[in-house]
Amino acid sequence: MPFCYVGEYQTGADAVSNKGIKIFYRTYGAGPIKVFMIIGLAATHDSWNPQIEGLLGTVKPNDADDGISDIEKGIEVFAIDNRGVGRSSIPTKRSEYTTRIIAKDAIAVMDHLGWKKAHVFGHSMGGMIASKLAALFPDRLLSLALLNVTGGGYECLPKLDRQTLSIAVRFLRAKTPEQRAAVDLDTHYTQEYLQESVGGETRRTVLYQEYVKAISSSGMQSNHGFDGQINACWTHKLSRTDLEMIRNGGFLISVIHGRYDVIAQVSHARRLAKKLYPFAKMVELHGGHLVSHERTKEVNEALLELIRAAESQTSPHDWTNLSEKSTGFWSTSWNFSSGYKSEGGSSNESVIISIAETVWRIMLYIFSIFVLAFEYIRRVPRRIRPVKVGTGFTS
């Protein structure tokens, strides 16, 4: 099986701490154009199948019995199971899961394959990992695609309404493939998409059967892996230095997002795209969190457009569809020649906005915890069965 022992490609403390850690990967196709795909929380590499098929016309891996696919597209793709899921190692300590650590895992696999540069695509948590990789190793990227991504931390909190609170509670309680499949559908797709008719059945029914089969075959993610990956999301942050490193890399970026994502809110993606001006393009699609499956054709077209633009060395200003000027109080614009500034250009104003954003996110976090606690307490009486009281003695 194709594994990479990441410690063998690292030095110093990284090599010591990651000794024995193995990352499962698969390669597809062949050609001079290299594409590296990083998937999100609790998912395995094959969640990228719609995109792999869109780029290559096949999802047959190169380690299949009959070798490399006959379909030649000039593109080679590899995708990984992040640490904590699938066939990769599952460290037991939360501290062994951060986007920085997993980004270094990814670079180790690139070194293992002998890839110098690649177009890097990341979805959700995978987008956080991809953006951290871009900040740490900007010279290894040809382009960057961030699908349904946020800035991590408080931005990982879902939209605050009854539907998403219900999804969160069901997700945490899911213990069987059937329970997990049911909640995953509501997490990944819009209700409109799930209600569509497919061959006499609803898409929900068809997808439910596929999800149960997939989860049953790969097994439920371990508690260590899930807790660790949650820690990676929660502790993720792109500092000003990280953002400067990404912009200084000079590669084109596509931020692709479903407008109705209940997990990663589109407003966070818009904010991130603005911070990466002029290299970023914002692509909003009619879909949910797994927009890569719900709107496969549009996502694949956006990814191919990014690859073509990067390969032809399109200039950032011809690529971006964003405005240089900020469009709101919470937004900030970035000026390449003078560093981080607010719309008015004052560094004091930028500090004030940064503090205000932090306070706002803390307030949202506290409020969400309160709502979750209230919702749980409200449901407790429903679970308590009334006790039948018979006729008693009276005085």
Minimum mean pLDDT range among 95-104, 200-209, 338-347, 366-375: 338-347
More confident position, 315 or 164:
315
Average pLDDT for residues 195-209, to the nearest whole number? Answer: 94
Task: Tell whether the model's pLDDT for residue 34 goes beyond 80.
Answer: yes
R_g of the chain, CA atoms, integer Å: 23
Average pLDDT for residues 182-199, to the nearest whole number? Answer: 93
Task: Tell whether the model's pLDDT for residue 309 goes beyond 90.
Answer: yes
User: What span, in angstroms and rounded, lies between the C-alpha atoms of 119 and 318?
Assistant: 19
Tokens for 263, please give them: 């997990």
- Mean model confidence pLDDT for the chain: 85
What are the DSSP calls for 329-370, one per residue?
TT--EEETTTEEE-TT--HHHHHHHHHHHHHHHHHHHHHHHH
> Which of the listed ranges 114-123, 180-189, 213-222, 349-358 does the model predict with the highest average pLDDT?
114-123
Output the pLDDT for position 117.
98
- The whole-angstrom distance between residue 52's C-alpha and the CA centroid of its chain comes to 17
Output the pLDDT for position 363.
55
Minimum mean pLDDT range among 26-35, 182-191, 354-363: 354-363
* pTM, full prediction: 0.82
Question: What separation in angstroms does the CA of 202 have from each of 173, 190, 197?
Answer: 25, 13, 4
Task: Tell whether the model's pLDDT for residue 236 goes beyond 70.
Answer: yes
Question: What separation in angstroms does the CA of 212 have from each of 193, 261, 296?
Answer: 19, 22, 21
Tokens for 376, please give them: 């749980």
149 and 255 in contact (C-beta within 8 Å)? yes
Tokens for 272, please give them: 């991130």
Task: Tell whether the model's pLDDT for residue 335 goes beyond 50.
Answer: no
Minimum mean pLDDT range among 16-25, 29-38, 161-170, 201-210: 161-170
Minimum mean pLDDT range among 43-47, 107-111, 322-326: 322-326
Task: Tell whether the model's pLDDT for residue 26 goes beyond 80.
Answer: yes
Average pLDDT for residues 203-227, to the nearest whole number? Answer: 90
Q: What is the pLDDT of residues 121-177, one digit of tens each?
A: 999 999 999 999 999 999 999 999 999 999 998 898 877 777 777 777 787 788 898
Tokens for 100, please give them: 């920085």
Tokens 């509501």, located at residue = 186
